[in-house]
């Protein structure tokens, strides 16, 4: 299972690095694109199969954020309609967003940026 996770995440990162090196896309473009691809794969029912195959290799990627947003939005829509779509999406992804902000702050305080 560890090898599958490593290979899956490594291949995704390799593809993104090749795109970054050979196009004029910025890291923000690639991050947004991978997030959207994760949501599309979730919509098609493929991302759950990737998680069962690659385990943590699929859940630590930014594509999982797109999958999480789609899954939470769909569950909220099924419960409360169109307003539930937005409210559940924000409630479910709030932990991930706050974690990113807190850890980014901690890392900027510990490490110095290169010039």
Chain segment 67-86, per-residue pLDDT in tens: 998 998 999 899 888 888 88
Q: Encoding tokens for residue 89?
A: 């999406």
pTM, entire model: 0.80
pLDDT, one tens digit per residue, over 29-70 is 999 999 999 999 999 999 999 999 999 888 888 898 899 989
Scan for tokens 């630590």, then name that residue: 60
Q: What is the pLDDT of residue 93?
A: 78
Domain range summary for the chain, segments of one domain joined by +: 2-110
Q: Is the pLDDT of residue 91 over 90?
A: no
Instruction: State the pLDDT at residue 8.
Output: 93
Tell me how crowded residue 39 is: count the other CB atoms within 10 A of its CB: 20
Mean pLDDT of 87-105: 85
Neighbours of 86 (CB within 10 A): 14
**Helix/strand/coil (H, E, C) string of the chain?**
CHHHHHHHHHHHHHHHHHHHHHCCCCHHHHHHHHHHHHHHHHHCCCHHHHHHHHCHHHHCCCHHHHHHHHHHHHHHHHHHCHHHHHHHHHHHHHHHHHHHHHHHHHHHHHCCCCC
Are residues 89 and 97 in contact, defined by beta-carbon separation less than 8 angstroms?
no
Q: At 87, is the pLDDT very low, low, confident or very high (cuts 50, 70, 90)? A: confident
């Amino acid at each position: 299972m560890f090898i599958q996770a490593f290979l899956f995440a490594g291949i995704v990162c390799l593809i993104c690095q090749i795109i970054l090196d050979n196009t004029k896309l910025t890291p923000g473009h690639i991050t947004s694109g991978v997030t959207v691809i994760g949501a599309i794969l979730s919509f098609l029912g493929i991302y759950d199969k990737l998680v069962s195959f690659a385990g943590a290799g699929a859940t630590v990627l930014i594509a999982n954020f797109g999958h999480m947003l789609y899954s939470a939005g769909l569950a909220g829509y099924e419960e409360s309609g169109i307003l539930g779509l937005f409210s559940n999406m924000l409630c479910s992804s709030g932990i991930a967003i706050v974690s990113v902000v807190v850890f980014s702050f901690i890392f900027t305080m510990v490490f110095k940026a290169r010039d």
